[in-house]
A and B are shown apart, each in its own frame.
Chain A
Amino acid sequence: MPNDEILLNLENINKVYPGAQPVHALIDINLIINKGEFIAVVGPSGSGKSTLMNVLGLLDAVTSGKLYYLGQETSKWDEKQKAVFRNREIGFIFQAHLLLPEFTALENVLMPAFIARTINHSLEERAKEILTIVGLGDKFYVKPKSLSGGQNQRIAIARALMNQPSVVFADEPTGALDQKTGNDIYNLFRKINAEENMTFIIVTHERSLAQKADRIIEIVDGQIVK
């Protein structure tokens, strides 16, 4: 049954945020994502896009349903296994950049490698290379608070790519950037996707960008409509 091509398999995923008025944010999601796909996720505000990304990124638990990564059911994993998997296989770019303010751009990008306890002298070279690609070749030793929102988002992108994950989740990564930079980033994602067969799942509001994806998933009120 396990198909080598399948990266992610969702079976009847439901997510309810508990509370006085529980929010049923994801309703019976069934979805298969193959390795190397480049997917755009679209939908109105509050439809559940971020929730889906968090669930897929193993950052949040599902209420019911099953989530398979490479044929393995993830609800059986303990915290440590999930942490190791996040570190090695997942790159995450949040809606807000979420950098560590006490560390320089370079250190922020290196952090996933530090956490992996990788000891490799070319690490720093690689981090600098990625930063240069996202247009921050001259900001290695600058801390986030001295940089613009767009620049910080690009650091976050570089950081997501650092450990060469098998999948990158990006929650409106280019929302804070101007159109040209947004386009450049998008093209960069496509390039890496083509060269390294890295899977990309990107939430976006911009139809023009979504059009460039292999597949568009549209969510409305917690359900996949397309």
Chain B
Amino acid sequence: MRFYELFIAFRYIKANLKQSIIITTAVSIGVAIIIWIPSINLSFMDDLINRTVSSAPNITIQKELDTFETNKELFAEKFKGENLLLTDQVLTRKRKIKSSRRIIQQIKNIEQIEAIAPFAEGQALLIRGGEERGVTIKGIIPEELKIIDIEKDMVKGRIRNLTINDIVIGQTLANKLKVDMGKRVKATGVSGIPISLKVVGIFNTGLRAKDEYQAYVNLRTGQQLLNIKTDVSGIGVKVKDIYKADETADEIRTKTGLYVTSWMEDNKQILDQLNRFKLIILFINFLIVSSAATSITSVFIMLVAAKSKEIGILKSMGAENKSIMVIFLSQAVFLSFIGYFIGLLGAKLMIMGYSNLLESSGETMFSTQVPEFKINTAYAVLAFFYSIFTSILASILPSYQAAKLKPVEAINA
């Protein structure tokens, strides 16, 4: 028999079923948690990032906020005690780009850029019957839909081909205003002149901030409400690789000399927080791995102690040290292999369970929709190597001790 060590190892696994089960369980619990925790948390993070990225342009070009920046204190003084909305209105008026066509020509050849769309965004009041709500109104062109995928969130009607008399609002806002498709609302912006608009679409993003406070209109309507004629308040840009947004923003800044921000800068705190969180997850994983390793080691020490006589017998028949080592190590590797797959299955079940729990309880911290939880592949792969590596590490010392036993001593033990 060429690999008699494996023959013996498998027999021992079968004969010492109790120990085998303990080791397998230790590994599978470790693996399940190692995969489960990051999968849940990273799904949340991915979801958060996806929502963040998809709720605003990757990059936004605005005019330098000179007026506002230099007159900040003056503004603050002037509007002391008044609400933020007013300050925002002032801000809106100052944030204007006159020659959006020229700027688009300037940057459209940048390699990373996928889509460009000017917009007119500012505060407005929507009135319907006795209800009124302050909202952020955004005047868009069809190209906008390439930059922010609003269409996927549409629950009723359309967002394409908005005429100057159309408006699209969020579900929550629609409920609050008690309007539905085809109904009209009155919009008043900085211009002060009310415009009657027809609700042609309703969306539900799951992000509370959007569903309650965002409305879309035709760019021309937006410009009219904000009283900015043919100017725009900004230009949105979509890039090919969202994690290159910072670099691309730099490029646009140098080309145009305008005030450019990327989603990464805007959400720097969230991104930093997430990275810190990933570190904590790694640390937790390390703790789990160590505790699993400890229990595996102790089981193996017992196993080797219980088997020392047989080790002596095998040696008296000419089994070499390395064969004894292989007999014990291969048990560890095989059991952790089994443990890994049980753990993977466990992680999957736990993720499903958690997802169901959240769904039944309704809402989460950031949104009204439960994110789609997936097994995190990177951690699943990591857990595989963890489990094999840990069990080898945990059993190598006892196995080595077994191999080093002197035949006579082992037999007499």
Contact = CB atoms under 8 A, between A and B. Distances in A.
Interface of A: 54, 57, 59-60, 79-80, 83-88, 90, 92, 94, 98-103, 111-119, 159
A117 B313 contact: no
A54 B317 contact: no
B5 to A, nearest CB: 9
Contacts of A57: 316
A92 B15 contact: no
Given A115-B314, A117-B2, A119-B2, A80 B406 contact: no
B411 A116 contact: no
B319 A115 contact: yes
A102 B15 contact: yes
B1 A83 contact: no
Contacts of A85: 318
Contact of A59 (B11, B309, B319, B408): B408
Contact of A79 (B7, B309, B320, B411): B320
B51 to A, nearest CB: 58
Nearest to B407: A59
A217 B201 CA distance: 108
Nearest to A110: B1
A88 B317 CA distance: 9
B3 to A, nearest CB: 8
A117 B1 contact: yes
A55 to B, nearest CB: 9
Contact of A84 (B1, B4, B318): B318
A114 B7 contact: yes
Contacts of B317: 86-87, 92, 111-112, 115, 159
A157 to B, nearest CB: 14
A92 B408 contact: no
A59 B316 contact: yes
B277 interface: no
Interface of B: 1-2, 4, 7, 11-12, 14-15, 309-310, 312-321, 323, 406-408, 411
Given A86-B316, A114-B4, A117-B1, A103 B321 contact: no
A54 B12 contact: no
Nearest to B7: A114
Given A87-B317, A98-B313, 5 more contacts: A80-B321, A92-B317, A98-B309, A115-B4, A118-B1
Contact of B320 (A54, A80, A92): A80
A102 B323 contact: no
A115 B15 CA distance: 20
A90 B407 CA distance: 14
Contacts of B406: 59-60
B4 A92 contact: no
A86 B313 CA distance: 12
Contact of A116 (B312, B315, B318, B407): B318
Contacts of B318: 83-88, 90, 112, 115-116
8 contacts: A59-B315, A59-B407, A60-B406, A83-B315, A84-B320, A98-B312, A102-B12, A115-B318
A118 to B, nearest CB: 8
Contacts of B15: 101-102
Contacts of A117: 1-2, 4
Given A79-B320, A87-B318, A60 B408 contact: yes
A94 B407 CA distance: 12
B411 A83 contact: no
B192 to A, nearest CB: 92
Contacts of A84: 318, 320
A79 B14 CA distance: 30
Nearest to A100: B310
A209 B4 CA distance: 37
Contacts of B315: 59, 83, 86
A83 B2 contact: no
A80 B1 CA distance: 19
Contact of A94 (B12, B320, B411): B411
A217 to B, nearest CB: 21
A79 B2 CA distance: 20
Contacts of A60: 406-408
A84 B15 CA distance: 28
Contacts of A87: 317-319
Nearest to A99: B313
Contact of B11 (A86, A92, A103): A103
A173 to B, nearest CB: 15
A98 B411 CA distance: 8
A33 to B, nearest CB: 19
Nearest to B406: A60
A113 B72 CA distance: 92
B285 to A, nearest CB: 36
A68 to B, nearest CB: 20
A119 B4 CA distance: 11
Nearest to A95: B411
Contacts of A54: 408
Nearest to A120: B1
Contacts of A99: 313
Contacts of A80: 320-321
Contacts of A88: 318
B9 to A, nearest CB: 11
